[in-house]
Structure 1
Amino acid sequence: MLTLVNKTSIITGASSGIGKATAILFSQLGSKLVLVGRDESALDQTITLCNPELKNDIIKVSGDLCNSDTCKKIVEQAVNKFGTINILVNAAGILKAGSLENMKMEDYDLSMDTNVKSAMILTQLCLPYLIKEKGSVVNVSSVTGTRSFPGVLPYCISKAALDQFTKCVALEVADKGVRVNSVNPGVIVTNLHRRAGQSEEVYAKFLENCKNTHALGRPGTGEEVARTIAFLASDNASFITGELVHVDGGRHAMTPR
């Protein structure tokens, strides 16, 4: 039976989408939580949906992960309250569209800072505690990290970099008993694409097209990704590291027809 009892988990991006679903599930599995996001009121909403029996074992940290001081504050508050860190879920991320012809370099910089650099900084800061506990890191990547798509160049590059980070660090810390894996979702129904500028009409067509782009004929849910994150973070996955797990309804296996 999958359980996270007696674990302390840091989850970034917990104010919405996959991070929010992961926070709720982790609370149901018994984990103490450090929830991170930019929107404090949205974090409060996430907490109201968590297991009420753990309400005294949840702390929130609002701030910009691109700021290294925010990352230091996250680790300090986690250790001050719970004494340790067992699990880190790097779920924070943004989607910036653009091709090489029209991409804004500031969008590229922001994509790399948010999707890659923040995960690197926070993982580095957590590492001494993860080593002590023989803990686990799960990065939330994307099918765009392993497959190529036009029109979202900054996003694809950042997720490919995150995948290499996952695999390289998994090798670096394996002899210390720390496992590092990623989930690579396909289209998941969240606000990610709306925040990237898609109108409701365009987004609805985008989701409808998942019948053609995903082998299972539909987009996924945050809860479906969260369940895979929980498995990889748990002791049930004790012999899995350096893995990129596609939770994408088969999209990564699709070919043009």
Structure 2
Amino acid sequence: MDFSGKVVVITGASSGIGAACAAAFAQHSAALVLVGRNRPNLERVAQQCRELAGGEPLVICADVSVDADVERIVTDTVDKHGRIDVLVNNAGITSVGGLGGGVAALDAVMATNTRAPYLLAGLALPHLARSRGNVVNVSSCLSTKPNTMLMPYCMSKAALDMFTKCLALEAGPQGVRVNAVNPGPVRTEIFRRAGVSAADNERLYAGLEGALPLGRVADAAEVADLVVYLASARARSVTGACYPIDCGLLLGENTTI
């Protein structure tokens, strides 16, 4: 797979799956636009990409839940590169709790996980149509597997899956493909950032490893490989698909997260 001359925008690129996507696309010679809220982490990821491929990523410190920041992502990218070929909507947050947590938690999660990809894809679509590019949304297997303690997150990812399918229908006639990857448990910092202690986080992953059919959880690089495939010409006939990568989580009722 070769992304030479292709401009790839990755949100949430400062850590976890986003950082792994940045490294993977760098290895395939993409011109990278790295978006995140944590500038020091973004700069570290950018340096890793330079060491891998020698290119110079465009680093954009932005909060995708802020409309003006989303608009700036597109403007800065087009000002520098003149095009957008791939949009990876990866930025995401979670909130631990159910209905009793109140509506503020839902609003915050939906703003980042659902509204931001909707707005960013809409602004990027004219550029993607010109390049006959594509969108890859990073969703979750919890879009279809309910969890009462992650209710807002589950809702946001279910909405993201439907957005993926609807946008694939709308953008297909313009030559733009839209797909999603739906990871199960992946060792990232998402639960730690939601307030889970280091010890509880480790117990969570250890319990998942014992419960999942494959006896392991995925790492971020594996998810990135699937993102790169869907963004590549090898997947040129794939659109409107939501691909699970979950170590078997969705196979049985005895596996929970």
- For these two proteins, the number of residue pairs brought into alignment is 255
The question of whether the paired residues in 1 share the 8 Å contact of 2:114 and 2:156 is answered with: yes
Structure 1: 5+ residue stretches without partners: none
Return the alpha-carbon distance in structure 2 between the equivalents of residues 54 and 83 of structure 1. Answer: 21
Q: Give the deviation of 1:53 after TM superposition.
A: 7.0
Between the aligned residues of both structures, percent identity stands at 39
Instruction: Give the AA of the match of 1:108.
Output: L
2:41 matched to which residue of 1? 42
2:178 alignment partner in structure 1: 180
Q: Provide the rounded CA distance (Å) in 1 between the counterparts of 2:31 and 2:147.
A: 38
Mapped to 2, the partners of 1:22 and 1:110 lie a distance apart of 24
Instruction: Summarize the Cα distance change of 1:53–1:24 in structure 2 as closer, same or farther, 3 Å threshold.
Output: closer
> For residue 14 of structure 1, what is the aligned residue in structure 2?
13
Q: TM-score scaled by structure 2?
A: 0.96
- Assess if the C-alpha contact under 8 Å between 2:50 and 2:57 holds in 1: no
Structure-2 separation of matches of 1:81 and 1:29: 20
Cα distance in 2 for partners of 1:126, 1:145 equals 24
Within 5 A, what are the aligned runs for 1:1-257? Answer: 2-52=1-51, 55-100=54-99, 102-256=100-254
Q: CA deviation at 1:104?
A: 2.4
C-alpha RMSD of the superposition: 1.3
The AA in structure 2 aligned to 1:15 is: S
The residue matched to 1:49 in structure 2 has which SS?
Answer: helix
* Partner secondary structure for residue 138 of structure 1: strand
Paired letter, 2:225: R
| In 2: Cα distance, 1:231 partner to 1:143 partner | 19
Of 43-52 and 81-90, more deviation after overlay is shown by 43-52
Separation of aligned partners in 2, 1:16 and 1:52: 17
Deviates more, 1:136-145 or 1:43-52: 43-52
In structure 2, stretches of 5+ residues that fail to align are none
